[in-house]
């Protein structure tokens, strides 16, 4: 979280964020099927960057370790990837063999190298008077 705060000071990082607050799962239910929809209802992302006033999600993050090499976990990861892609939210999987041992400085450098050039805050800003939905629209 420290690396996200320091790398993107104009945004608010939130940990362990519910997926149903990022994408409109009700609108996606028929598109993704019952099993994926139910997973989405209980799913969280490790972190999300939001705009400070509007609360619009700018990007979502997962910190993957070798535990994500498990086939069952990869299946669930694929569902999460798919849901966030349908919601048009940039989603980044950052890999570390031991996320607990990775320093904030190392995370900051990874965010700079792999993420910063792909995050465009202006694309996500919306006027609340025009858009009544909290979450991005499915395109």
Model pLDDT for residues 51-98, shown as the tens digit of each residue: 998 888 999 999 887 777 888 889 999 999 999 999 889 999 988 777
Pick 8 or 133 by higher pLDDT.
Answer: 8
| pLDDT in the model for residue 37 | 95
Model pLDDT for residues 94-133, shown as the tens digit of each residue: 887 776 778 889 889 999 999 999 987 776 655 444 444 4
Domain-wise residue ranges, the chain: 2-124
Q: Indicate if the pLDDT at residue 13 is higher than 60.
A: yes
Its pTM surpasses 0.85: no
Q: Return the beta strands (E) in the chain as ranges.
A: 12-18, 44-50, 57-64, 91-95
Q: 71-86 and 34-42 helices cross at what angle (nearest 10)?
A: 90
């Amino acid at each position: 979280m420290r690396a996200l705060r320091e790398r993107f000071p104009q945004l608010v990082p939130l940990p362990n964020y519910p997926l149903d607050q990022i994408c409109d799962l009700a609108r996606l239910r028929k598109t993704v099927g019952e099993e994926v929809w139910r997973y989405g209802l209980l799913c969280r992302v490790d972190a999300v960057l939001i705009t400070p006033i509007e609360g619009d999600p700018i990007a979502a993050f997962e910190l993957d370790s070798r535990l994500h090499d498990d086939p069952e976990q990869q299946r669930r990861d694929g569902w999460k990837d798919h849901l966030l892609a349908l919601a048009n939210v940039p989603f980044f999987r950052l890999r570390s063999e031991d996320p607990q041992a990775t320093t904030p400085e190392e995370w900051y450098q990874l965010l700079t190298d792999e993420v910063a050039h792909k995050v465009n805050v202006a694309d996500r800003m919306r006027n609340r008077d025009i858009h009544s939905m909290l979450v991005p629209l499915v395109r």
